[in-house]
């Protein structure tokens, strides 16, 4: 059994970690912190864990709490992890951060989209935690920057095309639709009030102004071997969980859908959490799981491919991907504790 600490465990990401770790056959949550719920049972914040996880929130995690922990998950806001990480690493050998702090190889990009980076050398050391692209590096990483939710869906949808050189990388567009839990539990604005979010679709931060844009560009540029720019549009959709990313690219030569699906299946061979399907994905098929489903079509009239991917923003887009990273970092089977199908219907 590996021992785990979860810092910032009363938000949606932290709660999802607790939920999955409570039934992980090889991991045990040893400490879970929450400033808001300090001293109270985790079931006060997550009643669904009543009778299933017997643990109380700590206000913080000191050396004693962390002793014997094999990995620590940081599930707090952007900007906090980069200041706290080195202290945790004195006590715990491996760290997975769910914020944006350790996702960027180039801290000047982080600085442009977030703020100056407080731990540039740790950032340089950190591995981008997308196992389908960086599995080997993750296995030996000390610090993993767990990808964003939109990012995971977008990169997995476009990576095979970009890596193959089959598309004109100046034509990449990602039109992404997210459930409202993506906004987080603490950012509480009228936009997320049930009465206002319900029965509505809305676009926000259009034209490449959303912070997940540079993450997508970092990974696709690495695959392309050249600077890539993506027009990314996030949308809020009236559902709790799930992201659907509809991606567009112009093909540099004519290909049909069947051929491209074969390319995708090759690319993701040996990656059990990406499924390339003949049909088109629905978020409902992946919600509550670590799966990413991908489908596609080609508009041969205009030689443009449409690739659609679906993930659970709190699952493969966040907490279960973090556990997949943990499994790799600690030498467990990559799928341990993660072969649970999503909830349907």
For its own copies, the binding residues in 35-94 under the rule CB under 8 A are 46-53
Burial grade of 282 (CB within 10 A; 0-12, 13-18, 19 or more): middle
CA 86 to chain centre: 22
CA–CA separation, 195 and 183 (whole Å): 16
Name which of 88 and 283 has its Cβ closer to its own copies: 283
- 69 catalytic? Reply is no
Residue for token pair 């021992």: 3
How many residues bind its own copies (CB under 8 A)? The answer is 93
Residue 103 CB, shortest distance to its own copies, in Å, is 20
SS (H, E, C) 28-53: EEEEEECCCCCCCEHHHHCHHHCCCC
Residue 204 tokens, joined: 């926000």
Per CB under 8 A, contacts with its own copies among 276-305 are 277, 279-289, 291, 293, 295-302, 304-305
Stretch that binds its own copies, among 74-82, 114-122, 149-157, 334-342 (CB under 8 A): 334-342
Q: Which of 94, 92, 113 shows the shortest CA–CA distance to 103?
A: 113
Q: Please, which of residues 305-324 interact with its own copies by CB under 8 A?
A: 305-306, 308, 310
Binding of residue 239 to its own copies (CB under 8 A): yes
Q: How far is the CB of 293 from its own copies (least distance, A)?
A: 7
CB nearer to its own copies: give 59 or 341. 341
Are 294 and 156 spatial neighbours (Cβ–Cβ below 8 Å)?
Answer: yes
244 in contact with its own copies (CB under 8 A): yes
Phi then psi for residue 213, to 5 deg, are: -55, -55
- Cβ 45 to its own copies, closest distance in Å? 10
Chain residues 214-233 in contact with its own copies, contact rule CB under 8 A: 229, 231, 233
CB of 242 to its own copies, least distance (A): 6
**Rounded to whole angstroms, how far apart are CA atoms 154 and 201?**
19
Nearer residue to its own copies within complex by CB, 175 or 219 = 175
Which one of 23, 69, 149, 247 is the catalytic residue?
Answer: 149
Is position 238 an interface residue for its own copies (rule: CB under 8 A)? yes
Residues 112-171 that bind its own copies (CB under 8 A): 170-171
3-state secondary structure of 165: coil
Q: Which lies closer to its own copies via its Cβ, residue 122 or residue 216?
A: 216
- Residues 174-213 interacting with its own copies (rule: CB under 8 A): 175, 177, 179-181, 183, 185, 188, 190, 192-204, 206-209
State the Cα–Cα distance between residues 268 and 288, nearest whole angstrom. 21
Closest CA to 264 of 146, 191, 161, 162: 161
Task: Single out the residue of 30, 94, 117, 241 in contact with its own copies (rule: CB under 8 A).
Answer: 241
d(CA 82, CA 120): 9
The catalytic site residues sit at 149
């Amino acid at each position: 059994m590996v021992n785990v600490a979860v810092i910032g465990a009363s938000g949606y990401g932290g709660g999802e970690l607790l939920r999955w770790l409570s039934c992980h056959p090889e991991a045990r949550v040893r400490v879970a912190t929450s400033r808001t719920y300090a001293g109270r049972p985790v079931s006060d914040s997550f009643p669904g864990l009543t009778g299933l996880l017997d643990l109380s929130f700590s206000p913080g995690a000191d050396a004693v709490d962390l002793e014997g922990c094999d990995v620590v998950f940081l599930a707090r806001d952007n900007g906090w992890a980069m200041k706290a990480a080195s202290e945790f690493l004195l006590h715990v050998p491996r760290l997975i951060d769910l914020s944006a702090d350790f996702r960027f190889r180039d801290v000047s990009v982080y600085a442009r989209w977030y703020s100056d980076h407080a731990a540039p050398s740790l950032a340089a050391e950190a591995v981008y935690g997308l196992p389908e692209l960086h599995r080997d590096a993750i296995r030996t990483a000390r610090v993993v920057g767990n990808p964003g939710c939109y990012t995971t869906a977008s990169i997995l949808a476009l990576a095979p095309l970009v890596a193959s050189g089959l598309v004109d990388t100046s034509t990449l567009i990602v039109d992404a639709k997210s459930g409202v839990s993506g906004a987080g539990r603490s950012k509480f604005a009228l936009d997320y009030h049930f009465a206002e979010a319900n029965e509505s679709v809305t676009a926000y931060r259009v034209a490449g102004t959303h912070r997940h844009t540079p993450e997508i560009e970092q990974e696709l540029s690495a695959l392309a071997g050249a600077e890539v720019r993506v027009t990314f549009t996030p949308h809020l959709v009236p559902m709790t969980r799930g992201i659907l990313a509809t991606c567009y690219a112009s093909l540099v030569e004519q290909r049909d859908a069947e051929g491209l699906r074969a390319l995708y299946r090759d690319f993701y061979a040996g990656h059990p959490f990406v499924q390339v399907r003949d049909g088109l994905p629905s978020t409902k098929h992946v919600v509550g799981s670590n799966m990413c489903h991908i489908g596609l079509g080609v508009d041969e009239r205009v030689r443009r491919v449409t690739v659609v991917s679906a993930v659970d923003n709190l699952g493969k887009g966040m907490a279960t991907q973090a556990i997949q990273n943990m499994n790799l970092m600690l030498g467990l089977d990559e799928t341990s504790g993660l072969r649970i199908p999503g909830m349907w219907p």
